[in-house]
Amino acid sequence: MGETLNLPSIDISSPDRISTAKSIREACLDYGFFFLVNHGIEEEIFKRVFDESRNFFSLPLQEKMKVARNKEHRGYTPLYAETLDPSTQPKGDFKESFYIGPVEDATQHNNLNQWPLEGNSRNVASWRATMESYYLRVLAVGKEILSLIALALNLEEGFFEKVGALHKPMAFVRLLHYPGELDVSDIGSYGSSAHSDYGMVTLLATDGVRGLQICREKENQPQVWEDVPHVNGAFIVNIGDMLERWTNCLFRSTLHRVMAIGQERYSVAFFLDPNSECMVECLESCCTETSPARFPPIRSGDYLQERLRITYS
């Protein structure tokens, strides 16, 4: 494992929003990662989500495959199905996962989701209610983060709302399980190989088991990896490639990975991405004559679909 990293800690409950936005700006410039504390989500909610996640991943494989990931990226993904860095992990990443898409509008999005444990009406009701409640609570936190990021970029607080990014955003919960028992071929491999996230921001909750590392200077060789510690009750927040593109590379999307260490590990990621029709183009506050736009405008949905196609090809 690498050196332990001392990430900034952002208190989202602070009434001084300008100071909080300044702290987020510094974190996004220097790390692309930060801890988020005092976000208002109770420990009991995290406990229920992790308990339900363990319940699902403990099922036999044939049961989990009944809700295999569909073309809308909802459902179960087995071990080795995803390869984030084929150069280091040609066999596939040593993790399994479960995707849950937008739940706030049952008439449009929610029917695309798949729900496990259908054979037990009590269990499936509890499982689904837990995940939907968690989704909506974290979505509210994510929107608050983006309003502070807008301030950090010298934009109006409601900028991302005004451009349509947060009108029915493409937000996903992803339950993740990294098995503890390694085959000989898995020793020295990665639960998640090196990658940067694709979208705007990610909020990650972990169970306290080590393994997450980041590389702050992704262009440098050799790469230097640092361990991200666990902070009880805190989200680990990181910037995605789409926000890096939106900010003309001012804010960084940072490489990260999860080591396979022979110890079982659970985490829950929340990916907050814009409405699929939202145009992503260089922000005026991030573009000057000496630093012109590096990327052409692109629809959020087109960008994300291409990134997912490559990941699961």
How is residue 202 written in tokens? Answer: 């990610």
- Per DSSP, the three-state class of 7 is coil
Is the model's pLDDT at 92 over the cut of 90? no
pLDDT on residue 34: 97
pLDDT on residue 122: 54
Estimate to the nearest angstrom the gap between the alpha carbon of 22 and the chain centroid: 23
CA distances 182 to 31, 61, 229, 260, Å, are 31, 17, 23, 8
pLDDT on residue 1: 57
Give bridge partners of residue 267 from the DSSP assignment: 176, 206
Residue 170 CB coordination number (10 Å): 21
How is residue 22 written in tokens? Answer: 């300044």
Residue 219 pLDDT class (50, 70, 90 cuts): confident
Is the model's pLDDT at 187 over the cut of 70? no
DSSP 164: T
pLDDT on residue 188: 63
- Per DSSP, the three-state class of 262 is coil
Is the model's pLDDT at 58 over the cut of 70? yes
pLDDT on residue 2: 61
pLDDT in tens, 17-33: 999 999 999 999 999 99
pLDDT on residue 3: 74
The amino acid sitting at 211 is: G
What are φ and ψ of residue 3, in 5° steps?
A: -70, 145
pLDDT on residue 120: 56
| Distance between CA atoms of residues 304 and 49, nearest Å | 26
> Residue 209: enclosing H or E segment and its boundaries?
none
pLDDT on residue 100: 96
- Mean pLDDT on 87-112: 79
Higher pLDDT, 207 or 82: 207
Sign of CA dihedral 13, 15, 21, 24: negative
Summary mean pLDDT of the chain: 90
Tell me which residue has tokens 């085959």: 183
Pairing of β 235-239 and β 279-280: unpaired
What are φ and ψ of residue 230, in 5° steps?
A: -95, 135
Which of 172, 191, 167 shows the shortest CA–CA distance to 276? 167
Residue 67 pLDDT class (50, 70, 90 cuts): very high
Higher pLDDT, 89 or 77: 77
Domain ranges of the chain: 3-311
Contact yes or no for 272/171 (Cβ under 8 A): yes
pLDDT in tens, 236-286: 999 999 999 999 999 989 999 999 888 999 999 999 999 999 999 999 889
Is the model's pLDDT at 121 over the cut of 60? no
First vs last C-alpha separation in the chain: 30
In sequence order, what DSSP letters do the residues of 134-149 get, joined into one string?
A: HHHHHHHHHHHHHHHH
Lowest mean pLDDT among 86-90, 158-162, 198-202: 86-90
Top-tier CATH class for 3-311: mainly beta
- Mean pLDDT on 214-230: 88
